[in-house]
Structure 1
Amino acid sequence: GLPSAGVTNILCIRKQKFICPKSKMCPQVITQIAKVAGIQPKNQISDAVKYRAIIELGKNISQTDIAENYAISPMTIMRFTKQFNEYIQPNYHWLPADIAFDDFKSGKFAKSGMSLLVMDSVHHRTIDIIESRTNNFIRSYFLRYTFAARKAVKTVTVDLYSPYRPLIHELFPNAIIIADHFHIVVQAFQALNSVRLQVMKQAGNGSHDWRALKRYWKLLMKDSAELDYQHYSKRINFQNRQLCDADVVDRLLNMSDELRKAYNYYQQLLHVIHHQDTESLSNLLNS
C-alpha cells in the first residue's frame, strides 16, 4: 500500500472462497474468491500506489527514485505507464511558444543510439522524448501537431548540430532559432584545451612546462572571475613557491603566446555571456 511516514505499508489479507453448489437454477458448481476494494485480482500492489506513481511521473524525478519511494521496481512503473497509456495522450493542437531540443545517448532505445528531448524552455518541463534525432523521426513526430500549433512556436533553442536548422524552419515557420550558449562555451573550452595539448607536445614529454600544464590544466579552464587571488600555497612545479591560483595561471600563459590568445578569447566569451552583452558577443564570434 501507500507508504506512511516513510515506511512501506504491507497488508496481509485472508480472502474467503465462496462455493455455490449445483441447483436447479445453476447446474454447475461455481467457486469465487472474495474481492478486495482497491486491489486488482492476482495483484500485490494496490491501485493507490499505481495512481501515485503515475502522478509522480509528471515531476522532474527519475523512475528509479519514484520506485524507491513506493517500494516497487522501475520496471513496474514502466508497466503501469503502458496500462494507462490510453489516458495519457498528448494534445496535438498545442505547443508552447518557446521550446528546446537536446539530444542524449539512449543506448538500445534508438537504433542510432541518440534520442531527442523536447522541453518547454520557459517552464523547464519535458514535453516528450523523440526516439531518434534523425530528420525523418523528428519530422514525422511534429507533423502530428496541427499547423496552427506549430505556427505558434516563437523560439526553438538547440545546440550547434547543423541538420536541425532547415528542419526547424520547415516545421516551425514563425520560430527564431537560438543557439544554446552552453554548446558555444563547450566549443571554446575544447579549442583552448587543444591549444594546451599542442603546447605540451612542443615542450616535450616530462619537461617542466609539460608537467605544469598537465597538473594545473583545470585552472586554465576555470572562469578567471572565480580564481583565488588571496590564498597562497606551495606549488610543486614552481620550486615550491608560495603562489595563488591567479599566479599559477599567469605563469602557465607565459609559456606560449598562442595559449595566452586562446585563454583570453575563452575568458572574454565567458564574460560577455555571463553579462548577456549581445553586441560584444556578436563582435567576439565574428572576430
Structure 2
Amino acid sequence: PKRHWLPEVLALDDFKAGRFATSGMSMALMNGETHELIDVIESRTNTCLRNYFYRYEYAVRAKVKLIVVDLYQPYRSLIRDLFPNAAIVADRYHVVVQAYQALNQVRTQTMKALPSKDKLARALKRYWRLLVKDAAKLNWHDFKRRTGFGGAQLNEREVIDRLTATSDALSTAYGYYQQLLCALHFQSSEVLAELLKTKLTALPKPCQKAQRTLRNHREEIERSFEQPYNNGSLEGTNNVIKTIKRVAFGFRSFPNFRLRILLVAKSPYFNVKTAA
C-alpha cells in the first residue's frame, strides 16, 4: 500500500482472524468516503497497530480528520497518539449493539426464571425478533393466531405488550432499547441526553453496563449525528472475509490471507505485478 497517503476519513474495524493474531482479531482499514479497502493489519493489539501506522510519516497521519470506529476503549488513546488532528466518530451499528445485547440478556434471564413448560417462556424464545424490531415498524393492522398465547388473534404490538408484561426488567430494557433507536433514527442529541440521564439503579444490570459505555462515548455518538460516515461497508467486507476463510478452509500464512482479501476486495491501494 501507499505509505505517503491516508484518506481524510479513515474507517477501522476488527474481525476474527484466528491464530494469525495473538488476540484472535485482525484489523481492516477502509477509506470512509469511497468505501475502498486500504489494507489489513495482522493484529489489533496496541503494539501491532503502532508499528503499522508509524510507517506513515507524521504529516500524513496529521491529515486524517475523522476516524470511524467501534466503542472498543483501548483504541481511543492509540488514535489520539497516532492521529493528532482526528476526531472519533462512533459507528452507529456498534452503538445499537450495546442496547441490543442488553435486551437479549434480560429476555433470556426472564425466560429462564419461568417454568420450562410455561407458554410465556416459549413465547419469549419464539418472538425474540419482534422484541428487537424498531417499534415504529411494528404491524398494528394484521391480526394472526399467535402460538403461546392460547391461540389469541394478536397484532405485533399486542404481542410485545404481553411479552414485556411478564417482567418489569424486560419492560425497562425494551423501553431503553427503543429510546436509543429513536435517538439514532432522528439523530437527536436531546433524546440521547434524556436517555443517558437515566439512573443506573433504575435499569436492569445488563443495561447498566450499556449505559456506562454510552455515557463514556457520548461525544463520539453525537458526532455521528453530524457526520454521514459509518462502517456499514466495512462490515460488509468483513462478511466477505468470512466467506474467503470458509471457502479456503483456513489459511496457514497471514501474508497470503491478506493478499487474498485485497484481491477479492479489488483494493486500488496496492500494486499487483504479473509475470511476463
TM-score normalised by L of structure 1: 0.66
Match of 1:65 in 2: none
How far 1:185 moved relative to its partner? 0.7
Match of 1:222 in 2: 133
Q: CA RMSD in A?
A: 1.4
Structure 1 runs (4+) deviating above 6 angstroms are: none
How far 1:107 moved relative to its partner? 2.3
Give, as a single letter, the amino acid of the residue that structure 2 aligns with 1:220: L
267-276 vs 101-110, which moves further: 101-110
State the SS of the aligned residue for 1:164: helix
How far 1:211 moved relative to its partner? 1.5
1:46-68 deviation line (CA, Å, top 9, x unaligned): xxxxxxxxxxxxxxxxxxxxxxx
| C-alpha distance in structure 2 between counterparts of 1:209 and 1:243, whole Å | 15
How far 1:197 moved relative to its partner? 1.3
1:126-145 deviation line (CA, Å, top 9, x unaligned): 11111111111110111111
How far 1:201 moved relative to its partner? 2.1
| C-alpha distance in structure 1 between counterparts of 2:93 and 2:147, whole Å | 34
Query: Does residue 281 of structure 1 match 2:192?
Result: yes
How far 1:286 moved relative to its partner? 4.3
Match of 1:265 in 2: 176
How far 1:111 moved relative to its partner? 4.0
Q: Tell whether the 8 Å contact from 1:93 to 1:148 is kept in structure 2 after alignment.
A: no
1:81-139 deviation line (CA, Å, top 9, x unaligned): xxxxxxxxx22222111111100012244343211011111221111111111111110
| C-alpha distance in structure 1 between counterparts of 2:92 and 2:196, whole Å | 12
Match of 2:63 in 1: 152
| C-alpha distance in structure 2 between counterparts of 1:198 and 1:132, whole Å | 35
Indicate which of 112, 117, 121 corresponds to 1:210. 121
- Which of 1 and 2 has greater Rg? 1
> Kindly tell me: are residues 283 and 97 of structure 1, through their superposed partners in 2, closer, same or farther at Cα, counting changes over 3 Å?
farther
Match of 2:3 in 1: 92
Q: Identity over aligned residues, as a percent? A: 53
| C-alpha distance in structure 2 between counterparts of 1:191 and 1:140, whole Å | 35
> Kindly tell me: are residues 98 and 221 of structure 1, through their superposed partners in 2, closer, same or farther at Cα, counting changes over 3 Å?
same
> Kindly tell me: are residues 198 and 108 of structure 1, through their superposed partners in 2, closer, same or farther at Cα, counting changes over 3 Å?
closer
Match of 1:87 in 2: none
| C-alpha distance in structure 2 between counterparts of 1:111 and 1:160, whole Å | 21
In structure 2, stretches of 5+ residues that fail to align are: 199-276
> Kindly tell me: are residues 286 and 149 of structure 1, through their superposed partners in 2, closer, same or farther at Cα, counting changes over 3 Å?
farther
TM-score normalised by L of structure 2: 0.68
Indicate which of 9, 34, 39 corresponds to 1:128. 39
| C-alpha distance in structure 1 between counterparts of 2:88 and 2:110, whole Å | 37
| C-alpha distance in structure 2 between counterparts of 1:194 and 1:283, whole Å | 23
237-246 vs 276-285, which moves further: 276-285
Query: Does residue 245 of structure 1 match 2:245?
Result: no
Indicate which of 90, 96, 99 corresponds to 1:188. 99
Q: Tell whether the 8 Å contact from 2:120 to 2:149 is kept in structure 1 after alignment.
A: no
In structure 1, stretches of 5+ residues that fail to align are: 1-89
| C-alpha distance in structure 1 between counterparts of 2:196 and 2:85, whole Å | 25
Indicate which of 199, 211, 223 corresponds to 2:110. 199
State the SS of the aligned residue for 2:148: helix
Match of 1:18 in 2: none
